[in-house]
Structure 1
Amino acid sequence: MASARDPLADLRRIAFLLERAHEATYRVRAFRGAAGKLAKLPEGELVSRANAGTLTELPGVGDVTARCVVESLAGEEPVYLRRLEATAGQDLDEATAGLLAALKGDCHAHSDWSDGGSPIDEMALAAAQLGHEYLVLTDHSPRLKVARGLSAERLEEQLGVVAEVNAGFAGLGMDFRILTGIEVDILADGSLDQTDELLGRLDVVVGSVHSNLKDEPEVMTRRMVTALANPHLDILGHCTGRLITGGRGTRAESRFDAEAVFRAAVEHDKAIEINSRPERLDPPKRLLRVALELGCRFSIDTDAHAPGQLDWLGNGCARAVACGVPVDRIVNTMGAKDLLAWAATHE
């Protein structure tokens, strides 16, 4: 008889692959939620319930998740997992795969402290398992209430949690760390939606426009140029704000003077984000080429809101390769020490 697998690891792997495939949130929650509930059972109860066929009597455990657990305990790869693994590969050309391998981390990711779906430690562990050296935690700032943006007090509390999680990684001898950060709203006047004191304590600051996306071009241009001049901002996130697919529908690009914005980024040595979310893929390639020609730096980020989405970096790498972005212009090809040194030059 085959030795038992880890059923909780199998359930979490299924959730990860569903997230990476951008499947419906309820489907992901079925597996990740079941793993969380089963992990709290007293020792031996998981096996006894599986043998008795009573797993589905537990809240949050359905027929499919129970079947996966039974198959795992029997030493078999669950059929559901096997099917996902068989279709999970990314078809990357050699250049794209090479750029992906050169990335040391991800500078834009969310946890359940704002509008992400998973705790900080789960996001961090997934990043570490992908081979990242670091993950910048960039939950939203307070005025984005729909995304449960962090007040100054909550952000202060989060910094303590990040320190504890990093201490745990260090205690395990893992060469990985969470870098502190925020996705701060760029407000109507170009100011940033958090206190200067807190922004100054963060490792990396991503600034994005989330409101008044239909502002007139001159207004939007002034707004972003002002933000790029702010010494606390390091990376300009999803600069056009467009949505090209997905559950939220589509949204047209914000209009602005791209040359003026990208020249400001060059002047202040800030990076333009190449956002890898399938519904964003922002900026469009035509603007990516403008930014490249003007000498901008870039950051290829996932904007992940779940662990499996951290594996979306290949989307951004493919766009960077298509537009001829050289490796030395991409800030997250730097190790953590060099990335922090670059960000520190903006203060």
Structure 2
Amino acid sequence: MVHLIAPVEEPLDPIDALRRVAFLMERTRAGSYRVEAFRKAVKTLKALAPGELDRQVDAGTLQQIPGIGKSTAGVIEAAARGETAAYLSGLEEKSGGPLAEGGEELYAALQGDCHLHSDWSDGGSPIDEMVLTGLETGHSWMVLTDHSPQLRVANGLTAERLAQQIAIVEAIDRGVGEGFSFFKGIEVDILDDGSLDQSPEMLSRLDLVTASVHSKLRMNASPMTKRMVAAVRNPRVNVLGHCTGRLVEGSRGTRPQSDFDAKAVFEACAESDTAVEINSRPERCDPPDELIGLALDAGCLFAIDSDAHAPGQLDMKAYGAARATRLGVPPDRIITTWDADRLRAWARPA
């Protein structure tokens, strides 16, 4: 059951106080430079020798440590005194409430996420921080889906890097223990001809594959339709990511949706048991409402995903839950409400 990390009721230790600030800033899409200051401070504190933090706090010399600035020092000093910094209290008041109105019941029913990124591709945090925040927000499973090789601007993973990441994901999954599953995945590019931007051998090693179009988004409707239909019919594709590629707001500006025969694509999804992603990022809000209606009529499954590129963005699924509720998507047709065993059996049937 997914839920927002509970508001702070007792003072946190310095590292958790910094993480809480970063989480609140990320979930409301604060500037990456501001967020990075707090994430960097966490790394700095973790690297200090035992007792060094207390010594620096007592001496009033925190800001002499590389990576600690005025704002981060204030949060650390307050936490070290057993208090909550005004900076954190202000963020709790401003940014700690629900992100979306409506969909609360569905949001509470979500158990996992099929689309999230780490700093192995274009995400902002290490894999372990994404997992820790997932655990803290009540996820029972997550799928790591960093980008594939063609998306160089997003540091897409070569087969060699993906193999290294698979070993790390497997180790984390073993280490977390019962009650949480960490799945091996990828957001693989759909190439111009509908093939996938990773070798069949590597894709066969993954638990779940989300496939998305990232290039030639203005392709003519007929070839774009063939491209997408070929991809969703691929036996190794489980989820069709942000299907129109549109941008409706945000720092990257706006972008119109791609042209394709949505009815044909969604019918292929339904026939192939490929879920249609409801991408929860506010700048994407993809698919548009009318296409979700078409996918519903076609009998498609859905995945309410965060497309998180930072830990706090895992909470953005609240936006997708609100839309799905408003549009009448049945919860049992949303794979992110399923438990880990059901998801695993669906994604990789025997």
Q: TM-score, normalised by structure 1?
A: 0.96
Mapping of residues 29-178 of structure 1, within 5 Å: 29-87=36-94, 88-90=96-98, 92-93=100-101, 96-170=103-177, 175-178=179-182
1:109 aligned counterpart, secondary structure:
coil
| Cα displacement string for residues 165-196 of structure 1 (whole angstroms, at most 9, x for unaligned residues) | 122212xxx51121010000000000011111
Write the deviation string for residues 16-35 of structure 1: whole angstroms up to 9, x where unpaired. 11000100000001111011
Which residue is equivalent to 2:341? 337
Question: CA separation in 2, counterparts of 1:209 and 1:180?
Answer: 20
* Secondary structure in 1 matching 2:184: strand
The 1:73–1:159 alpha-carbon spacing in structure 2 relative to 1, beyond 3 Å, is same
Give the drift of 1:91: 5.7
**C-alpha deviation, 1:100, in angstroms:** 0.8
- The answer as to whether partners of 2:184 and 2:208 remain within 8 angstroms in 1 is yes
Q: Does 1:257 align with 2:261?
A: yes
In structure 2, runs of 5+ residues without a counterpart are 1-9
Q: Which amino acid is the alignment partner of residue 236 of structure 1?
A: L
Contact 1:56 1:63 in 2 (8 A): yes
Contact 1:331 1:339 in 2 (8 A): yes
- What amino acid maps onto 2:133 in structure 1? A
One-letter code aligned to 1:285: D
Which residue in the other structure is 2:196 paired with?
Answer: 192
Distance 2:172 2:127 in 1: 8
Partner of 1:289: 293
Alignment length (residue pairs) = 340
Match among 209, 213, 236 for residue 217 of structure 2: 213
Q: Is the contact between residue 108 and residue 138 of structure 1 (CA under 8 Å) also seen in structure 2?
A: yes
Structure-2 residue corresponding to 1:241: 245
Give the SS at the match of 2:236.
coil
Q: Does 1:274 align with 2:274?
A: no
SS of corresponding position for 1:106 = coil
Match of 1:9 in 2: 16
For residue 167 of structure 2, give the secondary structure of its aligned residue in structure 1: helix
Instruction: For structure 1, list consecutive stretches of 5 or more residues without a partner in the other structure.
Output: none
Name the CA distance, whole Å, in 2 between partners of 1:194 and 1:337: 26
CA distance in 2, matches of 1:92, 1:246: 17
Q: 1:311 to 1:155 in 2, by over 3 A?
A: same
The structural deviation recorded for 1:5 is 4.0
Query: Retained in 1: the 8 A contact 2:99–2:318?
Result: no
CA contact (8 A) 1:4 1:73 kept: no
Structure 1 match to 2:33 = 26
Determine whether 1:225 maps to 2:237. Answer: no
8 Å Cα contact 1:275/1:316 also seen in 2: yes
CA contact (8 A) 1:4 1:75 kept: yes
Task: Compute the displacement of 1:4 (Å).
Answer: 7.2
Letter of the 1:19 counterpart: E
| 3-state SS of paired residue (1:261) | helix
Is the CA contact 1:5–1:74 (under 8 Å) kept in the aligned structure 2? no
Using the alignment, how far apart are the partners of 1:92 and 1:245 within structure 2? 17
Deviant stretches of 4+, over 4 Å: none
How far, CA to CA, are the matches of 1:117 and 1:50 in structure 2? 28
Contact 1:270 1:297 in 2 (8 A): yes
SS class of match (2:129): helix
Q: CA deviation at 1:246?
A: 1.1
- Who is 2:315 aligned against? 311
> Alpha-carbon deviation of 1:114?
0.6
AA at the equivalent of 1:144: L
- Mapped to 2, the partners of 1:324 and 1:177 lie a distance apart of 29
Q: Quick one: which amino acid aligns to residue 214 of structure 1?
A: R
Return 42-51 or 25-34, whichever deviates more. Answer: 42-51
Would the aligned equivalents of 2:99 and 2:319 in 1 still touch at CA under 8 Å? no
Task: State the distance in 2 between where 1:71 and 1:144 align.
Answer: 42
Matches of 2:293 and 2:30, distance apart in 1: 31
- SS of aligned partner of 1:183: strand
